[in-house]
Structure formats: C-alpha cells, structure tokens
Amino acid sequence: MESLFKNSLFANLTTVVVIILGLVTFFGLPREVFPPVNFDVVGVSATFSGASPEQVERLIVNPIEDELRGVIGIRDLYSTSVEGFVQIIAEIDPDYPEKDEVVTEIQRAVDRAKGLPPEVERPIVQEFKSDRNPSILIALRKVENISVNYEPSLELRTMSKRLKRVIEDVPGVSEVNLEGEEDLEFLVEFDSKKLVQAGISVDEIQRAFRSQDLSVPAGEFESATGTIRYRIENELLNEDKIKNVILRATVDGQVFKVDDLARVRIRQKKSRDYVRSSGNPAMILQIIKKPGADVIDVVDQMKIDAEGFIKEINAQSRDQWEIAYGADMTIPVRVRLKAMGTSILIGGILVLLTLLFSLNFRTGLLVAIGIPFSFLGAILLMPTLGYSLNLLTMFGFVVVLGMLVDDAIVVSEAIFTEMESGKRGLEAAVEGTRKVIRPVLGSVVTTLLAFAPLVFMTGIVGKFVKFIPAMVILCLIISLLEAFFLLPTHMKDFVKFNKRELERRHPFERIKDFYRRLVTWAVAHKYTMTIGSFLFFALALGLHLKFGRFILFPKEGIEIFIVKFEGNPKLSVSEMAQRLLPIEKELSKYSKEDVLGYLTNLGSIRGAGNPEERRTGTNYGQITVYLAPEIQRKLDMKQIMEDMEPLVEKIPDMEDVQITELGGGPPTGKAVNILFQGDDLKMLRSVVEVGREKLSAMEGVHSIGDSDLPGKEESLYEIDFKRAIQSGIQSSAVATGLQMAVDGSIVNTVRGELESMDVRVVVDQTERPEVALKNLSALNATGELVPLTSLIRKVPAENGAFSIEHYKGRRSITVYADVKEEITTSGQVNKAMEAHFSEWKKSYPGLQITALGGKRDTQESMDSLKRSAMIALAGVLFVMILTLGSLWQPLVVFSSVPMGLAGVVFIFLIHGRPLSFLALFGIVGLIGVAVNVGIVLIDRINMLSQTMSWDEALIEGSVQRCRAVLLTSVTTVFGLMPTAYGWGGGDPFLKPMALALGWGIAFSTILGIILIPVYLAVLKSWANFCRSKYRRVFHKKARLVSVSSNSDQAAF
C-alpha cells in the first residue's frame, strides 16, 4: 500500500486518462429512450383474403397450433382469428435457457404445418423486440382544408413511395414501413347485360386472361451472322394491353375484346383501415433505426432529407405537399436526457457544497473528483457491455450519484482525522486508509449485493429496469477502486495542514457536540426509545394497510391518449369520417406546445396495441393524440381529455366511445384481463356476461369489453353438385362467378418492373350481388351457357364471429377493463374478481379461468422482486457477519432498514402517491445502503471497546463516525432529490424510485445513528443480565454440589 501511494504519477495519470477517454466515449454513445429489449415473444401472422374467422381458424390456426404445441420452451400460446387474417402469439418461458433455439423451432413448426390453403400467403414469423419500434412516424399529405375525404389518391401513394426511398438512404435507418398503402391492381368492371348479349361466360373471362399473358423463351438459333434469341412476349403490363384481351373470336370474324364489355382502370386495393393526418388523407411512414444507431442523429438527418424532398417537390408541382411528425422518440429522449443531466448537475452541486462545508476545501474537491471519475469510468465500459445512453442508464447515474462519494468520504475523513492528529502526507494516507478498509469494503459490498439480484430479475419489467442496478454496480466498483488506490495519493500530495487550520474549530464540530448530547440522552433512555421506535414502525405499517395502495406503473408523464369509436353497424366509412370531423377540427385548434399532432384511423380500432382490443369494420374509428412532454406543455392531459368529452357525447349514432390514456413504463397488459376457456361456446358467453356485470358494479372500473363480438351478416350459398355435374360445369367456375358478383375475382397476376399487380374482375359493382349473379353463366363442354343461379341455392345462415380466440389451443373469450387509479387499482379489482372464480367453475362445468394482463404482470414482477429481495438480504447479512465478526450485531444493523421503510410509507402517504414497482425497486436497493450506517458505526465502536469501557466506546465511536455517516447519507439524498421532485426537469416514470430511495436513506440514517447505539445498549444490558443470571445459577449449583460432597464425606 505504501509503495502504491508513493507513486503520484500513476494516480494522476490514471485519473486524467480515464476522464479523457470517458469523455470521448460519452460523445460517441448512441442515445435512445429505452435500451433494446427482447420481449421473448414470437408472433406468427398469416393472410387469407376474404376468409371468414371460422375458415381462418379451421384452415390456418388449427394446423399451426398443432405443430407449435410440440415445441419445448413455449409457456403460453394465444391466437386471434379475424376476417382474412390471423395472429398467433407464442410467449417463451423466461426460465428456458436456450431462447434462440425456441425461436428457430417455432419457425420450423410453422413450416411443417400441413394442409394450408394455397391462397394463404406464407406465414410470417417475427420476434417482438423494443428496437423494432418506430423511432418516428411521418405523415405525408396534401395541403388542403380539413374534409371528410379519407381515400388516399394514387398521387399520394406515388409520392409516399418516393419519400420512402429518400428516407431509406439516410444512414442509420434500418427499415421504412408504409402504413395506409395497399397494392395496386387492375380493376376490370364488366357490364353483365353486355356479357349476356355477347354470350360470354365467367370461365371464358378467366381463361382469356390467363392464356393471353405470356412471356415464354423459345430458345436460341446459331446463324451465319450470330446467335439469335427467340421468345414469345405478350405480358399484360398496362391498361391498353388488358383492354385488348380477346374474350371470344368466332369463325365469321366476330371478336369480343375486354374493351367492348368492360371498363379498365388502376386502383389501390380496398383497405380495411384508412389513415388521416390532421383531417386529411395521409400515408404514414414508420421509420425504424438500426440497432446501435443514435436515434437523435438518425431522426435529425431524416428530417433534413425529408423536408428537402418536400421543398423540391413543391417547387416543381402545382399541388403543395406537407409532412407532419408523430410519435417522435427524439422528443422524450432530448427532454428526459436533459432532465437527467440537469438532475445530475444540481445533485452534483449539492453534493460538492456539502463536502466543502463538512471537510476542508481541498479535501472536498478531491473527494468530489471521484464523481466524474466513476461516471466516466463506467461510460468507458458501456460500449463493451452493449449499453446505450438512455433513460434507464442515466437514472442509474442519478441513483448512484450521492453514493459515489460514500467510500471516498470515509477514507478521506479517516486520513483527515490522522492529519488533524499531527501526522503528515504518506503516513496519514497509509494509516487512515488501513483503519477503514474493512468497514468501507463491507459497506460497498453490501450495497453491491443489494443491487446485484435486481440485475437478474425476470419478465418484461425486469428486462427493462435491470439497467439501473447494472449502472449502479459498475459505478460503485470504479468508485471503490478510486477511493482505495487513487484518493489517498491525491490527499498525500494536495492536502496540506498548517498550524492555524489545526487550531481552528471546524463548523461540523458543533453538529458533533449536539449529536453527542443527543445519543447520550437516547442511550440513557434506551427502553423508552426502543418502545417508541417499535410503535413508529407499527404506526407506519397500520397506515399503509389502511390507506396505502399499490400500482405496478402509475399513469404519469403520459404523452399519448386515444379516443375509440364504435358506431352503429350500418355506418359506412364515409359516414364515420363525417362524424369524427368535429373532433379533428377541435384538436387542430390546440397549440403545438400542447398537442403535437393526431392521427385518425377509419375502419379499425387499434387500442393500445393489445390484440384483444383490435376491431375492424366500417363502423369503427380511432383518433390517437400525441401530446408534448409533460414538463413542456401548459395544459394538463386530463384537461385536454375533459375538453373532448362534451364533443364526443354529441356525436350521433355512436354505440360506444372510450377515451383512454396509454400507460407509462414497460409494456404490460390491460389492468384487468380475464380469460375464460371452455368447449361450450354458449356456456362461455354466459359466464362472460356474468363477469362483465361484476366489473360494471365495481367503482372506478371503466372501458369494459370482451373479445366475443358479433361478426358480419352472412349470405350462405350451396352448390347443387348433382345439377352441376349433369350440366358439365365445374364447381370452381361457380365459385368464381359468385366472387365476380361480390368483391371480384383475381383472374391473373401480372408482374411489372416495379411491382406485381392483380387483375380483378368484377361485374355490376353498383348493383347488389344477387342482381349481377342473375346475368352470369358458365360454359359447358357442349358450348351451352348455363345460368349460375340454376346451380346454387341460398341456405339459412347465422352471423359468424367477429374474431375467434384460442389460448393454448382451446377456444377462449377474454374480458378486459381499465381502472381509474385515483379510485381503485388493478390488484384490488383482480382480487375481487378472483373471489368468484371457484363459484363460477362449479356453476359452469369444464370452465377454466386465467387472470392475465396487469394481474399476471404484477404477480410476475412482484415474485421476481421478492426473490431479489431475499437474495439481497441473505447476501448483505453474510457480508455483515464477516465484516463485524459477530452474529447478533448484524441484526442491530438491520434495524435501520425498517426505519427507512417506515419513512417511505409516511412520505408516500403525505405525497398522496401509491407505492409502485419502481418504489419497491428502490426499497430493495435501500437494504444495501441503509445498513452502511450501522457497519461504519459498529466497526468503530468495536475498535474503541478494546481500549476503553463499552459504554464509553458506544458514545465515542458513534460521535467519531458521525461526520462520515451523515456525509455519506446527505450526499446520497441530495443526489436523488432533484429527480424525486423534478428540480430542473424530471421524469415522472422514475420519480417513485428516487423518492423511495432518497427518503428511505434519510429516515434510516437519522433514526439509525440514534437507534443503533440504543439497540446496542439494550442488547448489551440484556447480555449482562443473562450472564449474571447464568453465573448466579452456576455458582448456586456449585455450592450445592460442594455441600453435598462434604456431607457424604462426614457420613462416611
């Protein structure tokens, strides 16, 4: 140690190099909102155009689920079948070791699925990862007044594809997805009356398009002049070629072309979901950045290129175009990183001022140097660990800010004390460091052990928050190395005492004098103090049980809310657009300081991304409102939502309207999400209705819904196979004719230079399908036309389902709801519902009930947190036993933890805040920090007890370590308070942890420095009492044995 402290060059050079390299690394770190997280969820999606949910379930879902059930490592399997589409969600078991292998097996299982219809596009298998979320949305639209128009023009589609290519060239952009874009198709609209006059059948139409679309190589011929390549080229690449397709040519020269009987045009395929931006038809571009790319750099460059493109187009075009931004992730990144930086700066200044007040000027500066050294040392290692600069890693810096100087304070205070006693330079550095190695190492290790289990928490929540303890641990390790190996050398070189400084009384001595009187009085009244502390903890516990609430992630700092509309089933998309127009106009009046923008979806409800909320149909709509960050906007989100309510209530023909804010924090399910399973659909619907009634009766529960919605009205036909066979008509021709009469039949697909286009044939699109069907016929083998209506018959049909849910391969219905957090919580509602589960299972045989969503997310997170807390407690206890060399003294040290917990309960009740997951997260971290008070105090008391009486050592040891204990706690609290109260800006998502940890440390320190000596005195008193009792009994028995022996000898 002495040789290391002599080497000033090593200490100075190491400090300078780490700081310089750390700064260079800091400016090169990618910035993000949240770190990249793999959710261990795999989605399988497939499209089957025109198929009913029942057909999708039977022909796609069942074969795929049969294969997926054999994949080891899948915990849960969900599927939702809707018209023409299916999504299957496979959740991977968080405890399964080889998760990548599970993903591979899922892909193989999907590929093995047998019997999928040829019309089904190949199922897409994709992992859900946070870095797949868009960094920003761009809405491209024409500059027009707000109108009810909702269909995007071909010009808008073309412009959006051009803009997409511009953005794809931006460095750091991984992918650009177009929302609202549908493929182009050739629409051939036949007049059925002309078909009848010409005697053209549906199978002739289909055959003509397929036979006359040719591109066939015929080979090569070697001639004297060279090689000649021969081929047949007759591809239907444009409207003119399609118009010239020959449907029939007779021997007498009569020719019927498409142009004679139909109208041909290019259009976008019908969409189920139309998008409007600020009241006009729009195309939405979703920009996804590459992993590891800086979101601010990517988005800034993208905006420059996109705006340059728009400016160039507007200069060349008569129409004017504009772009608007939504869900811009750079806004929260800038605001929150700035807020975190400000919090660190304010906390750092408070810490520095505390150090300068408590220690001499030079010592305070040298201790403070440990803060940037530790931060920059950790930043230097972040690229190696794959960490970015994001909200969670920055908050890790905030949490550890005040702790970074704890070890340095104790070391410097010990060296400072040696210098005050007259020792100089190297001798003071060596002796002071040697005396505190064990308590400092013990206190830091206990803090590390408290945070370490949090790094290994499971579940989605654990995957996000683990970055906070990881950064705390990294910074503390570097801080410990700096305090032991660099700080003593710096103090040896730069801290010089003169006679005047040695003789001058430090202001902190007055605090120590006051503390000496206080702790002396407390020890003298030890039993009163002990009973009082127990009553204090019991009061806190009682108040929490009576008034306390728990919410996994309170809805704070929310910047998005959605308005979901369900209209009368008879409403068309245009009628829905008309009814939503007043809301759009009202939202357009808000300042950009409050409302950044909004997007309107017509034909669908997307909800918050939960599959059970998704709805499609002409009578559905949704408006998504993007707000400015909370710390910037003037209006409160609830005020804006309340402004919407009167307008929403006036909209006619609405069956249900819900205004819902999107919760903060990592993605979790709905507050209430109860899944009912069974083989009897009527039974399921009955119990679902009962469940909804129970939820409706609960105060604070709103937005109640379920996944069992009525489907569309169906018109069902059967083919008369006997008559079809007798007439020589194939059933495929009959099916094609019905398709042409309804939505059109895809008779061919032509491949152009840029994209493939279907050729869709429809008949009498302005008439009802039944009218068009009467004029359609099929051609038999003898050349006779057979009316299609003679080959089919209509049969009674019930309305199908809107969607069909499976859970683990069985039919299920989900009931879901949200809660008003100021009235009730997810946990309270789920607990009330669970009380009925047993009763329902008895009343409905075969029923299975599973609580998912917020209930399961809360339970998983809490179970993982409990495991982490138990591991942390065990680890901290083990280290304290080794550090203090005692089995009972660590129990005294632990007394500071419940005092801190009691303080947290009081503070949260005073602030009117519920306890949340991050608050409990902070409490687990508090375990390691709170015990440091006891470790530092008791270590000194034990040391002094070797040279003085126990009572003297108890008081003197507490007083001697008072400055170190108070300084370490005050600096930690000051480092957290700016974030806890948003000084200089803050993030509501992280406030609970800062509040719990900061005030927990404050209470555990203030009460700990008083109660730990008290508890030690009580235990010592009881130990002396028990020892004296034991001695008395032992001596009494010894005397009895002696008397008995003498009597025996006399008798003998």
**CATH no. for residue 658?**
3.30.70.1430
Answer yes or no: is pLDDT of 70 > 70: yes
The pTM is what?
Answer: 0.76
Distance of alpha carbon 701 from alpha carbon 822, whole angstroms? 11
Q: Do 876 and 1022 fall within a single domain?
A: yes
Q: Do 76 and 164 fall within a single domain?
A: no
Q: Do 155 and 85 fall within a single domain?
A: no
The percent of residues in the chain predicted with pLDDT above 90, rounded, is 14
Q: Do 427 and 515 fall within a single domain?
A: yes
In a domain, 758, yes or no: yes
Q: Do 63 and 41 fall within a single domain?
A: yes
In a domain, 191, yes or no: yes
Distance of alpha carbon 509 from alpha carbon 492, whole angstroms? 24
User: What's the CATH code of the domain at 237?
Assistant: 3.30.2090.10
Burial of residue 789 (CB within 10 Å: 0-12, 13-18, 19+) is middle
* CB count in 10 Å sphere of residue 960: 19
Question: Are residues 446 and 651 in contact, defined by beta-carbon separation less than 8 angstroms?
Answer: no
Q: Do 345 and 402 fall within a single domain?
A: yes
Distance of alpha carbon 777 from alpha carbon 202, whole angstroms? 6
Q: Do 995 and 964 fall within a single domain?
A: yes
Sign of the Cα torsion 531, 532, 533, 537 reads positive
Domain end among 89, 114, 130? 130
pLDDT given for residue 500 in this prediction: 58
Give 613-628 pLDDT, tens digit per residue.
677 778 889 998 888 8
Q: Do 101 and 194 fall within a single domain?
A: no
In a domain, 288, yes or no: yes
As a whole number, mean pLDDT of residues 813-820 equals: 86
What is the phi/psi pair of residue 849, to 5°?
A: -125, 130
Distance of alpha carbon 50 from alpha carbon 274, whole angstroms? 18
Answer yes or no: is pLDDT of 167 > 90: yes
In a domain, 874, yes or no: yes
User: What's the CATH code of the domain at 156?
Assistant: 3.30.70.1320
Domain range for 968 is 2-31+332-553+858-1027
pLDDT given for residue 62 in this prediction: 92
Q: Do 168 and 236 fall within a single domain?
A: no
Q: How confident is the model at residue 127 (pLDDT cuts 50, 70, 90)?
A: confident
What is the phi/psi pair of residue 137, to 5°?
A: -110, 135
Answer yes or no: is pLDDT of 1036 > 60: no
Q: Do 355 and 453 fall within a single domain?
A: yes
Residue of higher predicted confidence among 425 and 20: 20
Of residues 743, 728, 740, the one with CA closest to residue 790? 728
In a domain, 675, yes or no: no
The percent of residues in the chain predicted with pLDDT above 70, rounded, is 93
Answer yes or no: is pLDDT of 611 > 70: no
In a domain, 653, yes or no: yes
pLDDT given for residue 440 in this prediction: 85
pLDDT given for residue 634 in this prediction: 82
Answer yes or no: is pLDDT of 22 > 60: yes
In a domain, 1052, yes or no: no
User: What's the CATH code of the domain at 442?
Assistant: 1.20.1640.10
As a whole number, mean pLDDT of residues 733-742 equals: 87
Answer yes or no: is pLDDT of 754 > 80: no
Domain end among 628, 646, 662? 662
pLDDT given for residue 68 in this prediction: 92
Q: Do 242 and 385 fall within a single domain?
A: no
Residues 6 or more apart in contact with residue 281 via CB below 8 angstroms:
141, 142, 149, 150, 151, 152, 153, 156, 274, 275
Answer yes or no: is pLDDT of 844 > 60: yes
Answer yes or no: is pLDDT of 1048 > 80: no
Answer yes or no: is pLDDT of 307 > 90: yes
Distance of alpha carbon 831 from alpha carbon 67, whole angstroms? 36
Query: What is the total count of domains within the chain?
Result: 5
Answer yes or no: is pLDDT of 645 > 80: yes
Q: How confident is the model at residue 468 (pLDDT cuts 50, 70, 90)?
A: confident
Q: Do 643 and 567 fall within a single domain?
A: yes
Domain end among 757, 777, 795? 795
In a domain, 690, yes or no: no
